[in-house]
Structure 1
Amino acid sequence: MFKKILFALLISQSLFSQELPLIPQPQSLRLLGGEVKTIAFAPEDLFSDLDGLNAFFDKKSPSVYSLGNPGSIEIRKSANFKKEAYSLKILADKPIQIEASDASGAFYALQTLFQMTSAQNATTLPCLEIVDEPKFQWRGMHLDCSRHFWSVHFVKKYIDYLAMYKMNTFHWHLTDDQGWRIEIKKYPKLTEIGSKRKGTMAGHYNEQRWDDIPYGGFYTQEQIKDVVAYAKARHITIVPEIEMPGHAVAALSAYPELACTFGPFEVEKTWGVFDDVFCPKENTFKFLEDVLTEVMALFPSEYIHIGGDECPKTRWKTCAHCQGLIKEKGLKDEHELQSYFIQRIEKFVNSKGRRIIGWDEILEGGLAPNAAVMSWRGIDGGIAAAKQKHYVVMTPESNLYFDRYQGDPKNEPLGFGGFVPIEKVYNFNPIPEALSVEESKYILGAQANLWTEYIATEKHAEYMVFPRLAALAEVDWGTAQPGNFGQFQKRLVNHMKLLDKKGVNYSRSMFGLSAKVSPFGRNQIMLEFTSADKNPEIRYTTDGSEPTSESPLFPGKIVIPDSEIFKAARFEYGKKISETTTQEFKFGKSTARSVSLKNQPSPKYSGDGAFTLTNGIFGDKNRFGRDWLGFSGTDLEAVIDLSEKQKVESVTASFLQSAGSWIYFPAEVEIFVSKDNLDFKSVGKISASDIEKAGGTITIKFKKQKTQYVKVIAKNTTKIADGKPGAGNAAWLFADEILVN
């Protein structure tokens, strides 16, 4: 009997601990039974004296620090805890007790207490004991202030958000082609000229529209000192980023003599990658060393981010100085010249007692001896760096780029493209399976990035960050369990009450509907919708009208037998609580048929696999999210099995072009047919110019004939031509639906 009672008590405590709105979830939480009255002051007051708290840990004595009403919280120093670790005890008839070895651990304990006392207007707290520490030492978030400039007020608010989730690194992206945002006293033209542009791209890159409204802004050195001190009080290190050798047009507009061609240049008002980069001349290195000297005087961080990504070699290939330097230094090519550039900067930064970190392109041509790598183009760069015993921060765009859509792109504010729902963030493991235990020690942690090409307002920025930031925090803390996303989701729903109180404009996309399609039978589609919580009330229509509380209930799954427009929304108690999801299906003889691919798409843009090409859905060309397959530097070669011999006479295929993202239409598309999947004959071809004229959605007609297999070969542009964004790099080919009729 006693065992049954104890077992029931443990279950109830476990359920209670899951319902506590704590994010990240603590490593260990033990409910002791009973409750106590909550502390008698506002939760925000927990952080009213951060300077005093930090000073307490800087002194050797005394050993107890009282916070709030006399004796309500006692903070004790203890050598028994690792850096950033803490314990929190809430006991009946006793002050709340916090123990830590350093101020950061105590600060995190207060954040835990803050979440407990503020999410639900709690008047009581459960008696409990928490023992907690982070798994990763780099728990980061990035903010791009070049494409769009953010006020000091918002930057501080952003830092507060990171602190709330026990994150400890703020990556401040301060320079790029579209604006130089940091005052450098020795080079005043960087802000006089480089911080201003004549206009800004309006809408998506594909629309090629711009406004003519002057745009600018920069941070003075005094403002930066203020923000650095603000972050330090919250145990957040700011890592500044000064881009080099690429993404340099804003700097070159101010000092054109640092380029290979001498310009003239203008600060870019277009998004993308540009050919004009820093030329590795002596005056360039002198300039960058001077800049970095002032930067390091402002930022005490161990690491200085020097960019290193997306540096076209176009100008270097035709620059007499660059070619002479390659010969003088015995370098193999322009990639090794970039490595020479980075290594020279590293030596200077190291001489000042600091270290560099850069995007994973700094691996190309040979990695600088002491450099750390930020792996963004997937995890392979991070794996390679860790195997070479270099420290790594994982930040793959497939899981941790917060400028990507998090819900149905049709219902989301404009984003860069791609699809990163909160579950994809939560399921990310910063330590790749390919690494040994010893190699995995070089993984410092993970970071998410917020690039702001399409994000111009604070509300939009918050929308893209929240609630994905909560999932990232749990990944970084080390308590995310991919198989347990549902439990995290329950805590998050409860935790959102805290976000409401703080006035955060968070996304509710996880409450929206996520469509999932799969083949059903020989020529039909199975459609299902998922949303937060089990068995949500979903209502739908198929006549083009908006769903209402009177519309039919969605039965969980439904078979789509033919072309139609399907609309659905989530309701609660008769009230619509989500945006309407519209899914149009266009059927042909290839719909829901089996597809085989010679080359597999990139894991970053893999959609629903090969089925993406025959699922009846044509993706949006301006809001390209999950409905596209992306191939980097390889052709699309797809064979569709029609299951039986049928008469066909046309093939429609859809391709995407977004030059700023290095996505280009195919060089050509050719159609083949076969009765046995062995002998194929060509029945039609379309050239690059005709694909361009058709806007990427092409129809190739041919003489009607019986066939069972249809092969589509779309030739990728092997290398992007000079003069185009991404010149010299492998092009992306994005393909969507293939419709055979």
Structure 2
Amino acid sequence: MQRFLLVFSVLFSSLFHTQTRLNIIPYPQKVEFQNGEFNVNDQTAVKGVETSFEYQFFLNSLKQQYNLDLSKNKRSSRENAIFMTIDKKINDAVDYEITVDKKLILLKAKNKEGLFHGLQTLLQLIRNSKNGNIPAVKISDTPKFAWRGMHLDVCRHFFTVDEVKQYIDYLAMYKLNTFHWHLTDDQGWRIEIKKYPKLTQIGSKRKESMIGAYVDNTFDGKPYGPYFYTQEQIKEVVKYATERHITIVPEIEMPGHALAALSAYPELACTKGPFEPATKWGVFDDVFCPKDETFKFLENVLDEVITLFPSKYIHIGGDECPKTRWKECAHCQELIKKNNLKDEHGLQSYFIHRIEKYVNSKDRKIIGWDEILEGGLAPNAAVMSWTGIKGGVEAAKSGHFAVMTPGSYCYFDHYQGDPATEPNAFGGFTPLDKVYSYNPIPEELNQDEAKYILGVQANLWTEYILDFKQVQYMIFPRLLALSEVGWGTSDPKNYKEFEGRVINEFKTLDKMGVNYAKSIYNVSGKVISVNNGVAYELSTSQNPNGIRYTLDGTNPTVNSPSYQSPLPVSKSLTIKSAYFENGQLKSAISSQNFTISKSTGKKIILEEQPSENYSFGGAFTLVDGIIGNPRRLGKTWLGFQGKDVVATIDFGQKTSFSEVYFNTLDNKGSWIHFAKSAQIFRSDNGTDFKMIKEIGKDEILSANGKIRLNVGNQNSKYLKIKIENAGIIPAGNPGADSKAWLFVDEIGAN
């Protein structure tokens, strides 16, 4: 029997020795495997500063997660022990070090924050061990980025103190260190300000809420609120986060997104009102008026906010501020003239500069969304780059710090799987692999400029997130990808290996009762170009041999054809697919309709590229055979802000056609407008084009954006279509004076 145990022990030790990766997220910077293993058991002693939060946190975590109470083990020997210590001599480039051998685990860190990060790694090692056996290993680790953030909007939908603490726990588990708390907006004011009690008496509630897709324009008819956090609750949450080495950055929106505040204090607006907290989502014309009493109000609010939050940065919003009211306001126009400002964008810069000067006087700094660049950036301001990477690049090149949070990679209110199988979301398509592929350092920056990139953050806006279970669903597992991107150890080339660690981590989330998205289990489809046509490529995080599909619109069963290679699509049809394991359905059933035309799969060139946030498959999206769903702005639409769509399709040979079609959207609350006009052209050489059809706005409106044009009998090699953007949004519309969005999907020819 002893010989058998000895052989088994050698084999098991050999297994750990040849192991190449640990199930840890985010993955450490340096891992060296050794021989042997350490067993954590009920006799293991834990040595450290017993009065410290970190020491007690570790013991409590072991007790809660594994029913392992090590608090009574007081032995002083260096066997079967876990030592944690602050070592001031540790390399400055190292956050923490863990050494595991057969006798003990030694965790060294240069400060308490590093110690806490090391304990999170150690807890993951224990969670993923077999019977408490941890492989002998040496880990040397440190984060790449100083700002590893996650945002939560509590204005559109409110979450309790306990839920916010849970949110902070998730950040701490995966070594994120910044919680961006979005506390004020048009739909609700969520922080008690003692000097202005009406902010919460009036501004923390609304008469009803928009429900369903935005285009439905329907409401629930139910009063919402009053919901807000008292200052004592704020202090409680700040303390909770600080103990876990997480900085809370509060956001107080200005000068736009101010309806909840103006409802309480209408004298701060350019017009007399009355106002009420918004029941719809979107952007509204009524904003703070830049007059002395407004600045005094905001300074008093900021005084109380700064007292509550010790963070170096105070977020002042600055995004999506329509200039309509300022253009019509005599005071604003006089202010522009008096201060030699160029225009209303200059007035926004004046507003931000004035607020920054006050915040700086309190020994704090401001950070704002990238619109604070309008009219010139305030001297010490940092930029949160959300509309793309351009704002971050501009800030860094001018010597300002920036946090990268582009919507195309970091907006977790976007769909993460097939929109047809997902809960209603704001729009967009940001799956796990796309989050993991993000590099926060823009290629446009040189080495010195890159130093101004503080880090990365993901945002969770909650227009369509009704409860905390859905919060969990939207952030998990994407938060795991974000954590590894922020830590600096992500490698898109090894995504499948990361995906395996994510699936392993699901066991922990299951034990915690987290309602995470299982989208990566579903079969995903990608349209690819094949032989001047298209094919549908299916994939899954599981064994691809388990994919079953149908081509006739019926639901697949275990007896349906097994997927082997991309499915050619030469005619209009519906492909349904699902993943089966051991004869059982293990995924949602994915469905994709194809509408095939003579332009499907052909070469297409766009003169202007879509916005980074709505670029998806690029130009090919317009000829992939998929008609977009106007109720779900997922991966089938391309979005262009302030730009026309000019697309040239090369049929490859002279082709006859008599109809051209495309779809465009109208969703004014999100600044999306129907096209102003469209022109169709033909050519035989790709250089000389002749216009064969033109339509105006009235025809587009009457067709409700679903354009079908009879162009007569044509026969040409090239087809060009120009779809004209609505331009500057006119007064009376959300986002007035800003560039309109143009959304377009499939361009077909028959």
- What do the CA deviations read for 1:345-379 (whole angstroms, capped 9, x no partner)? 11111111111111111111111111111111111
- What do the CA deviations read for 1:562-594 (whole angstroms, capped 9, x no partner)? 111110011111111111111111112222222
Match of 1:660 among 665, 669, 678: 669
**Distance (Å, rounded) in 2 between the aligned partners of 1:295 and 1:213:** 31
Q: Which residue of 2 aligns with 1:732?
A: 741
Task: Write the mapping of 1:541-552 to structure 2, written as runs, cut at 5 A.
Answer: 541-552=550-561
**Distance (Å, rounded) in 1 between the aligned partners of 2:155 and 2:686:** 52
On the 8 A contact 1:24/1:477 being kept in 2, the answer is: yes
**Distance (Å, rounded) in 2 between the aligned partners of 1:430 and 1:460:** 27
Q: Quick check: 1:176 aligned with 2:179?
A: no
Q: Quick check: 1:255 aligned with 2:265?
A: yes
- What do the CA deviations read for 1:402-454 (whole angstroms, capped 9, x no partner)? 01111111111111111111111111111112111111111111110001111
On the 8 A contact 2:647/2:722 being kept in 1, the answer is: yes
TM-score (norm 2): 0.92
Give the match's secondary structure for 1:142.
Answer: strand
Q: Which residue of 2 aligns with 1:721?
A: 730
Task: Write the mapping of 1:38-57 to structure 2, written as runs, cut at 5 A.
Answer: 38-40=40-42, 51=53, 53=55
Deviates more, 1:636-645 or 1:355-364: 636-645
Q: Quick check: 1:16 aligned with 2:25?
A: no
Cα drift, residue 388 of structure 1: 1.1
Q: Which residue of 2 aligns with 1:62?
A: none
On the 8 A contact 1:199/1:269 being kept in 2, the answer is: yes
Q: Which residue of 2 aligns with 1:624?
A: 633
Going from structure 1 to structure 2, the CA distance change for 1:196 and 1:394 (only over 3 Å counts) comes to same
Match of 1:31 among 20, 30, 33: 33
Kindly provide the amino acid, as one letter, of the partner of residue 719 in structure 1. I
On the 8 A contact 1:667/1:715 being kept in 2, the answer is: yes
Q: Quick check: 1:88 aligned with 2:98?
A: yes
Give the match's secondary structure for 2:119.
Answer: helix
Going from structure 1 to structure 2, the CA distance change for 1:98 and 1:39 (only over 3 Å counts) comes to farther
- What do the CA deviations read for 1:235-269 (whole angstroms, capped 9, x no partner)? 11100000000000100000000000021101001
Q: Quick check: 1:373 aligned with 2:383?
A: yes
Structure 1 residue runs without a partner (length 5+): 1-7, 57-65
Match of 1:434 among 439, 444, 451: 444
Q: Which residue of 1 aligns with 2:422?
A: 412
On the 8 A contact 2:367/2:381 being kept in 1, the answer is: yes
Match of 2:522 among 496, 501, 512: 512
- What do the CA deviations read for 1:45-102 (whole angstroms, capped 9, x no partner)? 999976374999xxxxxxxxx97733532211211334881111222123x2211121
On the 8 A contact 2:48/2:83 being kept in 1, the answer is: no
Match of 2:708 among 699, 707, 725: 699
Deviates more, 1:184-193 or 1:417-426: 417-426
On the 8 A contact 1:518/1:525 being kept in 2, the answer is: yes
Task: Write the mapping of 1:316-331 to structure 2, written as runs, cut at 5 A.
Answer: 316-331=326-341
**Distance (Å, rounded) in 2 between the aligned partners of 1:386 and 1:710:** 42
Q: Quick check: 1:69 aligned with 2:81?
A: no
On the 8 A contact 1:119/1:496 being kept in 2, the answer is: no
Q: Which residue of 2 aligns with 1:204?
A: 213
Q: Which residue of 2 aligns with 1:461?
A: 471
Give the match's secondary structure for 2:19.
Answer: helix
Give the match's secondary structure for 1:720.
Answer: coil
**Distance (Å, rounded) in 2 between the aligned partners of 1:671 and 1:49:** 75
On the 8 A contact 1:172/1:240 being kept in 2, the answer is: yes
Cα drift, residue 120 of structure 1: 5.6
Give the match's secondary structure for 1:215.
Answer: coil
On the 8 A contact 1:21/1:494 being kept in 2, the answer is: yes
Kindly provide the amino acid, as one letter, of the partner of residue 305 in structure 1. H
Give the match's secondary structure for 2:400.
Answer: coil
Cα drift, residue 537 of structure 1: 1.3
- What do the CA deviations read for 1:261-303 (whole angstroms, capped 9, x no partner)? 0211010010101111000110000000000000011111111
Going from structure 1 to structure 2, the CA distance change for 1:45 and 1:340 (only over 3 Å counts) comes to farther
On the 8 A contact 2:611/2:641 being kept in 1, the answer is: yes
Q: Which residue of 2 aligns with 1:61?
A: none
Going from structure 1 to structure 2, the CA distance change for 1:10 and 1:260 (only over 3 Å counts) comes to farther
Q: Which residue of 1 aligns with 2:681?
A: 672
Deviates more, 1:628-637 or 1:469-478: 628-637
Q: Which residue of 1 aligns with 2:119?
A: 110
Going from structure 1 to structure 2, the CA distance change for 1:286 and 1:641 (only over 3 Å counts) comes to same
Kindly provide the amino acid, as one letter, of the partner of residue 234 in structure 2. I
Deviates more, 1:651-660 or 1:192-201: 651-660
Deviates more, 1:369-378 or 1:154-163: 369-378
Cα drift, residue 193 of structure 1: 0.2
Deviates more, 1:614-623 or 1:524-533: 524-533
Cα drift, residue 679 of structure 1: 3.8
Kindly provide the amino acid, as one letter, of the partner of residue 635 in structure 1. D
On the 8 A contact 2:188/2:260 being kept in 1, the answer is: yes
Going from structure 1 to structure 2, the CA distance change for 1:613 and 1:669 (only over 3 Å counts) comes to same
**Distance (Å, rounded) in 1 between the aligned partners of 2:433 and 2:335:** 48
Going from structure 1 to structure 2, the CA distance change for 1:578 and 1:565 (only over 3 Å counts) comes to same
Cα drift, residue 121 of structure 1: 6.1
Task: Write the mapping of 1:195-274 to structure 2, written as runs, cut at 5 A.
Answer: 195-216=204-225, 217-274=227-284
Give the match's secondary structure for 2:715.
Answer: strand
On the 8 A contact 1:375/1:395 being kept in 2, the answer is: yes
Going from structure 1 to structure 2, the CA distance change for 1:705 and 1:302 (only over 3 Å counts) comes to closer
Give the match's secondary structure for 1:89.
Answer: strand
Going from structure 1 to structure 2, the CA distance change for 1:227 and 1:84 (only over 3 Å counts) comes to farther
**Distance (Å, rounded) in 1 between the aligned partners of 2:445 and 2:622:** 34
Give the match's secondary structure for 2:26.
Answer: coil
- What do the CA deviations read for 1:584-621 (whole angstroms, capped 9, x no partner)? 11112222222222222223222322221111111111
Q: Quick check: 1:571 aligned with 2:548?
A: no
Going from structure 1 to structure 2, the CA distance change for 1:49 and 1:163 (only over 3 Å counts) comes to farther
For these two proteins, the number of residue pairs brought into alignment is 722
**Distance (Å, rounded) in 2 between the aligned partners of 1:319 and 1:206:** 32
**Distance (Å, rounded) in 2 between the aligned partners of 1:558 and 1:42:** 57
Going from structure 1 to structure 2, the CA distance change for 1:97 and 1:68 (only over 3 Å counts) comes to farther
Kindly provide the amino acid, as one letter, of the partner of residue 158 in structure 2. F
Percent of pairs with identical residues: 53
Q: Which residue of 1 aligns with 2:566?
A: 557
Q: Which residue of 2 aligns with 1:133?
A: 142
Q: Which residue of 2 aligns with 1:63?
A: none
Q: Which residue of 1 aligns with 2:4?
A: none
Deviates more, 1:600-609 or 1:170-179: 600-609
**Distance (Å, rounded) in 2 between the aligned partners of 1:610 and 1:322:** 43
Q: Which residue of 1 aligns with 2:67?
A: none
On the 8 A contact 2:50/2:56 being kept in 1, the answer is: no
Going from structure 1 to structure 2, the CA distance change for 1:68 and 1:600 (only over 3 Å counts) comes to farther
Cα drift, residue 484 of structure 1: 1.5
Give the match's secondary structure for 1:196.
Answer: coil
**Distance (Å, rounded) in 2 between the aligned partners of 1:712 and 1:303:** 47
Structure 2 residue runs without a partner (length 5+): 1-10, 59-69, 76-80
Alpha-carbon RMSD across the aligned residues, in angstroms, is 2.4
Task: Write the mapping of 1:444-593 to structure 2, written as runs, cut at 5 A.
Answer: 444-522=454-532, 524-533=533-542, 535-593=544-602
Give the match's secondary structure for 1:228.
Answer: helix
**Distance (Å, rounded) in 1 between the aligned partners of 2:531 and 2:214:** 40
Deviates more, 1:711-720 or 1:641-650: 641-650
Q: Which residue of 2 aligns with 1:383?
A: 393
On the 8 A contact 1:119/1:497 being kept in 2, the answer is: no
Give the match's secondary structure for 1:623.
Answer: coil
Q: Quick check: 1:600 aligned with 2:603?
A: no
Going from structure 1 to structure 2, the CA distance change for 1:183 and 1:424 (only over 3 Å counts) comes to same
- What do the CA deviations read for 1:613-667 (whole angstroms, capped 9, x no partner)? 1111111111111111222211111122233333322111111222222221101
**Distance (Å, rounded) in 2 between the aligned partners of 1:45 and 1:709:** 75
